[in-house]
Amino acid sequence: MSETFSRADGRALDQMRPVKITRGFTTNPAGSVLIEYGNTRVMCTASVELGVPRFKKDSGEGWLTAEYSMLPAATHDRMRRESMAGKVKGRTHEISRLVGRSLRAAVDLSQLGENTINIDCDVLQADGGTRTASITGAYVALADAIAHLKAEGVVPGEPLLPPVAAVSVGLIDGHVCLDLPYEEDSRADVDMNVIMTESGKFVEIQGTGEHNTFDREQLNALLDYAEKGCRELIAAQKAALAGELR
Amino acid sequence: MSETFSRADGRALDQMRPVKITRGFTTNPAGSVLIEYGNTRVMCTASVELGVPRFKKDSGEGWLTAEYSMLPAATHDRMRRESMAGKVKGRTHEISRLVGRSLRAAVDLSQLGENTINIDCDVLQADGGTRTASITGAYVALADAIAHLKAEGVVPGEPLLPPVAAVSVGLIDGHVCLDLPYEEDSRADVDMNVIMTESGKFVEIQGTGEHNTFDREQLNALLDYAEKGCRELIAAQKAALAGELR
Amino acid sequence: MSETFSRADGRALDQMRPVKITRGFTTNPAGSVLIEYGNTRVMCTASVELGVPRFKKDSGEGWLTAEYSMLPAATHDRMRRESMAGKVKGRTHEISRLVGRSLRAAVDLSQLGENTINIDCDVLQADGGTRTASITGAYVALADAIAHLKAEGVVPGEPLLPPVAAVSVGLIDGHVCLDLPYEEDSRADVDMNVIMTESGKFVEIQGTGEHNTFDREQLNALLDYAEKGCRELIAAQKAALAGELR
Amino acid sequence: MSETFSRADGRALDQMRPVKITRGFTTNPAGSVLIEYGNTRVMCTASVELGVPRFKKDSGEGWLTAEYSMLPAATHDRMRRESMAGKVKGRTHEISRLVGRSLRAAVDLSQLGENTINIDCDVLQADGGTRTASITGAYVALADAIAHLKAEGVVPGEPLLPPVAAVSVGLIDGHVCLDLPYEEDSRADVDMNVIMTESGKFVEIQGTGEHNTFDREQLNALLDYAEKGCRELIAAQKAALAGELR
Amino acid sequence: MSETFSRADGRALDQMRPVKITRGFTTNPAGSVLIEYGNTRVMCTASVELGVPRFKKDSGEGWLTAEYSMLPAATHDRMRRESMAGKVKGRTHEISRLVGRSLRAAVDLSQLGENTINIDCDVLQADGGTRTASITGAYVALADAIAHLKAEGVVPGEPLLPPVAAVSVGLIDGHVCLDLPYEEDSRADVDMNVIMTESGKFVEIQGTGEHNTFDREQLNALLDYAEKGCRELIAAQKAALAGELR
Amino acid sequence: MSETFSRADGRALDQMRPVKITRGFTTNPAGSVLIEYGNTRVMCTASVELGVPRFKKDSGEGWLTAEYSMLPAATHDRMRRESMAGKVKGRTHEISRLVGRSLRAAVDLSQLGENTINIDCDVLQADGGTRTASITGAYVALADAIAHLKAEGVVPGEPLLPPVAAVSVGLIDGHVCLDLPYEEDSRADVDMNVIMTESGKFVEIQGTGEHNTFDREQLNALLDYAEKGCRELIAAQKAALAGELR
């Protein structure tokens, strides 16, 4: 562990990149948000569809599903477009499922009526943390979509639950770091994504020893940083939702 | 032909919607542009790849290819994501090919060296004219990408040709209209996309009698309007390129 | 522009290749036509299906859709079979859509009842102009299929509209040429496909400056030749339909 | 077993439908044949490609592969086009493989040089026996393609082996019948496809008790009829090949 | 024909490899069998689904369908997993269809009620004869599944027909051999799969001259051996079914 | 939290199901293991391929990749076969990636030479914990495959690292439980998969609040149980590897 460790962008170890949440980024979906974690930019939308998938039919409940994707030119080297390749990558599937599970923790499906909310997270620019930014931004889009549904009188109850936010933490050269950009993420020994609620409970933890393993003490240090990040992100979500929809 | 015909947004028949071109919209691709024709917004990028496809190998020439796509939530009703459906729609293929042909008219491949430029046009918000906005915006991204290549000393010659721009015109209730938004496009009797060079020559004309046929006189009136639109769009392209890259 | 320009097959610049239309080419579909433009040979069929696609259900109207395809051995060098490749080429999609739009201009869907007509254009031998031959031949197959439907008492009204035909024109070494075979098509500066009705109105115009741009004057010269070609093709369609169905 | 059994088209039980073989049906492939067994019509082509697939590289031997397909309108009710469905049916795969195996019995790959022959059998009109007609027709296309290769001096040896032909036989209401049309095929108790050489040896036998089983005696009766059919088909192949290529 | 011909594993020419049938191999499907022909091991299951495919709806009859597949590591060299390749091989389709046809000969669909039986044959280890082992094993799984259905009172009649079994025979260096392992199968001149009923009738015969043709006499010798093999296999099926389900 | 909580199969809360590891389950792959966690049975194989994927070429290092799949009849209700559906499910991709990452933590790629190890985990019978059983079993198959490589003299160094094992833990009605069968897994509030090394370090943690969130204290309790499970599993791996390969 080097005394002189410092982050490429000069941040403190437990400091988030600047976070910016723009509501009403586009106008067609019921909720549309551009979220930025530093140079990572994701367009998160929540579209509402009447009816539910077959396995939910006549349950009286709604459903929420999510799809994550990167635009081909989002990364430093252009990636092949999945629609043209005729194959969705395993990574894409994995993240889409994570986003869906996380957002379902923020909605009471029994209060939604038999409606479906489709979350789309399209990464315009990627610089690490795209899946966590997707979750944090999608919550805001979800809130706007539910407000829209309620204004239209379609939703019987109060489906929106308190905020859910997500952040990455990692171990780099023995240091715990919060909110990794691509440069740090690619060389981290351990990479962890943490999804939390406003009350500080975990929705999901995914920690991977990419180039090394980790012990219980390191885990706890990682979770401490993640908790700090999520608290700040939830504050940003609430500030954004308190503002006016442009 | 009604005396009282007026357009939903109050424009004159030969008036373009406000056009806005933002260079440097994202930072990873060599060229990245957000173009707006009113509410239609397309992210156009030009990515450079060393080498050429097999059919161009050892030709000493470069290649340019293009892909067009709509984000699922770009339209009023969310459309199924093509990568998840496992099928690219015929319309998508058709427009990708049109964008590719049009942009190849703006680049001298023999001056490009054996490099490939990949154009990506991703529609963030759709309100008619997405394919024409894609072409106009992609030219600006192409210009930035070529400037980038030249700055890096990779390109031997002067591959960039004078501007190419594109606009739609249509016949609605007997009136020729310039630059149709979705509402007009969907009920036009005739819909025409015109791609022109700065010198006023045609790169491509695609006119379709969607709900009616058209005669030579109407064709000429449509082309007059298109020419006016393209002139204005080329002025906007040149103004954008004269400014500083943010 | 060379004084001594002459076409490879000795035709005059405004002369069609020999056109042959064989009705009843096969017996299973309601309409089945073999059309030949010189060496280009396309089997065009019109099959009738009860019912309409979902988006037309309960509209009281019918629907017409079209698919174009090349047999693998139709071209000089065998092409990979699209079904085996698992991918339909963009060109195939583009032409299928063109054929569908063009033929829908020849049928009054409101008179068809809730029936669907499937047009199939399968190129047995390709020598340029396969999409235009497909449209011209498909009109004749469509007429036979509608006659068949009327004979069976399934169709309430008179769905068949006057003939629609299509031809290619191009600019080669500065000369306007009608009905380009492959050898001319591949080196034309401008390539245009024109679909017209019997009354001389345009259904669709697609003009592409493949290796060059073109101006309004050249456009008009191209359209003059296309009009002459379409008139002759419509005469051939009417002659074929006046004959007996073998 | 009814005394009064008679076939729908009045043929004797051991009588083939009229067989017609047209060489030079199209001009682009090295071999192109239209074969007709009554109303069944298949276009069989043999295209030559330099080089061999990877598993044959540097073997000094050639390769032969085959693809069978039905045009969508070949059958009484239009079938979905496999390329559009994105799926090749098991039946199509099965027949393609059968045609390939059968034709490889008619070519000495060691005499072919490192060239590949692609057989395509496209059914224009289906009335039973399409796979057997494909094999019989493809042999003639293969012979023409090899003659073409030899004329071009590409082939070192004498790759063409004596004729291979194929026919279906079946058990219908207890009667053995030769060369079943669709109407008989669909109600046969046993359906058998037999592929034979000129010397009366079997290349392949596929017998299926579709609605019943069969014993050794019935098998022998079926094979006797098949042998008669194949002898006649081989005579037709030889007559066609003795004629002039149109 | 060499005097000294002997088989690699020392078997007599007309001798089967050791056959082992394990019922109740897994517990979720209604029938689950592990069958072994020597080193070839196939897991055969029969799953029951209420309802029938569309083409059987309201027929009062049931349906049976089958899928065959090899695990990637079943063969000496690992094969690419078909689901990941995005393509099912022609060979897989061909065998699935064969298994389905063969098993339908062992069930009276009119006695099954509108239920569907899905047969799955997954090869755990391949050493020749996987398709024939699949059929023989699947019959036992089918019998258990039907017994299960009857015990549940879902099946109105007696759908199970007498046993069907399958074996391969081949010609190697002029000798007829029964039940070929991979080493023999890959160099056999003629390879034949024979599916028979308990009464000695043929359900299906597929004989292929892989590297040679064969005559009527050889065919009869092959069938004699196959009959012997099938009789022994049916004895093994009956013994297995007479035992207790573990 | 009920005093009377007890598990369906009578186990203590921190008790594993019976674990059984069978080496040499099949003979073709270099390593082949059947692992059982109670009724969950997975066949895990490790196949060796010379060479590495493109992104590892000339790195001097090896590669390890993994694929997980369920046989269609592994579950209580048969699932559609992914190869036939033409789509690999997101869940399958997600687990394949998890298995690959976990096993790469058990191999020193720099000691493997430019060889690739393909892990295949095929679930024969599913009763919860299939992904964790896959990882634990695959380590044993990997060890056998590396021993095989070393015996053949292909591997330069000592690529095998100490054991890695995996187990699931969950929160059910407020109780922490170890090694959940399907019945418990489907109703758990929190579900966590933990992958550990012999030294008690984490390779990966994936905790999901399926129906509820969880706090730090609960996390620690879950991890305690997981650690106990992994220790026992690693003992089982070592015992299996100490035995003779059948």
Q: Is F14 helix (H, G, I), strand (E, B) or coil?
A: coil
Chain E residues in contact with F32 (beta carbon < 8 A): 73
Q: Give yes or no for F83 touching E (CB within 8 A).
A: yes
Q: Residues D163-192: pLDDT tens digits? A: 999 999 999 999 999 999 999 999 999 999
Q: Cα(A245)–Cα(A240) distance, rounded to whole angstroms?
A: 9
Q: Cα(F39)–Cα(C155) distance, rounded to whole angstroms?
A: 62
Q: Which among B101, B204, B209 has CB closest to C105?
A: B209
Chains that touch B (3 or more CB pairs under 8 A): A, C
Residues 6 or more apart whose CB falls under 8 angstroms from that of F152 comprise none
- Closest by CA position to B143, among listed B60, B44, B73: B44
Percent share of chain C, pLDDT over 90: 86
- The answer as to whether A2 is a domain residue is no
Q: Residues C190-233: pLDDT tens digits? A: 999 999 999 999 999 999 987 889 999 999 999 999 999 999 99
Q: Cα(D45)–Cα(D66) distance, rounded to whole angstroms?
A: 10
Å from C224 to nearest chain D CA? 33
Phi and psi, residue D156, nearest 5°: -75, -40
Q: Which among B72, B88, B120 has CB closest to A71?
A: B120
Q: What does the pLDDT read at residue F229?
A: 98
Cβ pair E90:D96 closer than 8 A: yes
- The answer as to whether C216 is a domain residue is yes
Q: Identify the band that residue F146 occupies on the pLDDT scale cut at 50, 70 and 90.
A: very high
Q: Cα(C96)–Cα(C79) distance, rounded to whole angstroms?
A: 18
From B10-19, B159-168, D207-216, D222-231, the region with the lowest mean pLDDT: D207-216
How much is the average pLDDT of F125-139? 98
Q: Identify the band that residue D62 occupies on the pLDDT scale cut at 50, 70 and 90.
A: very high
Q: What does the pLDDT read at residue A2?
A: 47
Q: What does the pLDDT read at residue A154?
A: 83
Q: Give yes or no for C128 touching D (CB within 8 A).
A: no
Q: What does the pLDDT read at residue F210?
A: 77
Report the chain E residue with the minimal C-alpha distance to residue D164: E213
Chain F residues in contact with E125 (beta carbon < 8 A): 26-28
Percent share of chain D, pLDDT over 70: 98
- The answer as to whether B120 is a domain residue is yes
Percent share of chain B, pLDDT over 90: 86
Chain D residues in contact with C75 (beta carbon < 8 A): 28
Residue A1: pLDDT over 90? no
- The answer as to whether C202 is a domain residue is yes
Q: 3-class secondary structure for chain D?
A: CCCCCCCCCCCCCCCCCCEEEEECCCCCCCEEEEEEECCEEEEEEEEEEECCCHHHCCCCCCEEEEEEEECCCCCCCCCCCHHHHCCCCHHHHHHHHHHHHHHHCCECHHHCCCEEEEEEEEEEECCCCHHHHHHHHHHHHHHHHHHHHHHCCCCCCCCECCCEEEEEEEEECCEEEECCCHHHHCCCCEEEEEEEECCCCEEEEEEECCCCCECHHHHHHHHHHHHHHHHHHHHHHHHHHHCCCC
To 10 degrees, the CA torsion angle through E179, E185, E190, E194?
A: 40
Q: Is B220 helix (H, G, I), strand (E, B) or coil?
A: helix
**Is residue A179 within a helix (H) or strand (E), and if so which, with residue range?**
none
Binding-site sequence positions of E for phosphate:
91, 129-131
ipTM entry: 0.94
Å from B244 to nearest chain C CA? 31
Q: What does the pLDDT read at residue E2?
A: 47
- Listed in order, strand segments (DSSP E) in chain F are 19-23, 31-37, 40-50, 63-70, 115-125, 164-172, 175-178, 190-197, 202-208
Q: Give yes or no for E91 touching D (CB within 8 A).
A: yes
- The answer as to whether C118 is a domain residue is yes
Phi and psi, residue D23, nearest 5°: -80, 160
Q: 3-class secondary structure for chain E?
A: CCCCCCCCCCCCCCCCCCEEEEECCCCCCCEEEEEEECCEEEEEEEEEEECCCHHHCCCCCCEEEEEEEECCCCCCCCCCCHHHHCCCCHHHHHHHHHHHHHHHCCECHHHCCCEEEEEEEEEEECCCCHHHHHHHHHHHHHHHHHHHHHHCCCCCCCCECCCEEEEEEEEECCEEEECCCHHHHCCCCEEEEEEEECCCCEEEEEEECCCCCECHHHHHHHHHHHHHHHHHHHHHHHHHHHCCCC
Å from B20 to nearest chain A CA? 16
How much is the average pLDDT of B100-108? 96
Q: Residues F85-113: pLDDT tens digits? A: 988 999 999 999 999 999 999 999 999 99
Q: Identify the band that residue B246 occupies on the pLDDT scale cut at 50, 70 and 90.
A: low
Residue A241: pLDDT over 50? yes
Q: Residues F197-241: pLDDT tens digits? A: 999 999 999 999 878 899 999 999 999 999 999 999 999 999 999
Report the chain E residue with the minimal C-alpha distance to residue F89: E83
- The answer as to whether A12 is a domain residue is no
CB D226 within 8 A of CB D201: no
Å from D70 to nearest chain E CA? 17
- Closest by CA position to F214, among listed F179, F190, F188: F190
Residue A147: pLDDT over 80? yes
Domain of D181, in residue numbers? 19-242
From A170-179, D218-227, E181-190, F149-158, the region with the lowest mean pLDDT: F149-158
The single-letter code of the amino acid at E147 is A
- Closest by CA position to E214, among listed B160, A1, D197: D197
Residue B3: pLDDT over 70? no
From A222-226, B155-159, E15-19, F73-77, the region with the lowest mean pLDDT: B155-159
Q: What does the pLDDT read at residue B157?
A: 85
Chain A residues in contact with B124 (beta carbon < 8 A): 26, 43
Interface-testing mutation among E101, E109, E208, with chain D (most D C-beta atoms within 10 A) = E208
Residue C117: pLDDT over 60? yes
Q: What does the pLDDT read at residue E157?
A: 85
Q: Cα(B192)–Cα(B167) distance, rounded to whole angstroms?
A: 8
- The answer as to whether F2 is a domain residue is no
Report the chain B residue with the minimal C-alpha distance to residue C220: B216
Q: What CATH number is given to the structural domain containing A173? A: 3.30.230.70
Residue B1: pLDDT over 50? no
Binding-site sequence positions of B for phosphate:
91, 129-131
Percent share of chain F, pLDDT over 90: 86
- Closest by CA position to B83, among listed A77, A100, A85: A85
- Closest by CA position to F138, among listed F115, F168, F166, F111: F166
**Which residue in the block uniquely carries the two structure tokens 């220790």?**
F231
To 10 degrees, the CA torsion angle through F2, F8, F11, F16?
A: -110
Please report the DSSP string for C24-40 in residue order.
TSSSSSSEEEEEEETTE
Å from D245 to nearest chain E CA? 30
Annotated ligand binding at A132? The verdict is no
Angle between helix axes A130-151 and A90-104 (nearest 10 degrees) is: 50
Q: Cα(A33)–Cα(B186) distance, rounded to whole angstroms?
A: 28
Q: Which among C96, C204, C210 has CB closest to B207?
A: C204
Report the DSSP pairing between strands F175-178 and F115-125: unpaired
**Tally of domains within chain C:** 1
Q: Cα(A31)–Cα(A192) distance, rounded to whole angstroms?
A: 28
How much is the average pLDDT of D108-122? 95
- The answer as to whether D40 is a domain residue is yes
Q: Identify the band that residue F156 occupies on the pLDDT scale cut at 50, 70 and 90.
A: confident
From A148-157, C127-136, E15-24, E58-67, the region with the lowest mean pLDDT: A148-157
Chain A residues in contact with B39 (beta carbon < 8 A): 27
Cβ pair F39:E27 closer than 8 A: yes
Is the torsion defined by CA of B53, B55, B61, B67 positive or negative? negative
Interface-testing mutation among B27, B78, B89, with chain A (most A C-beta atoms within 10 A) = B78
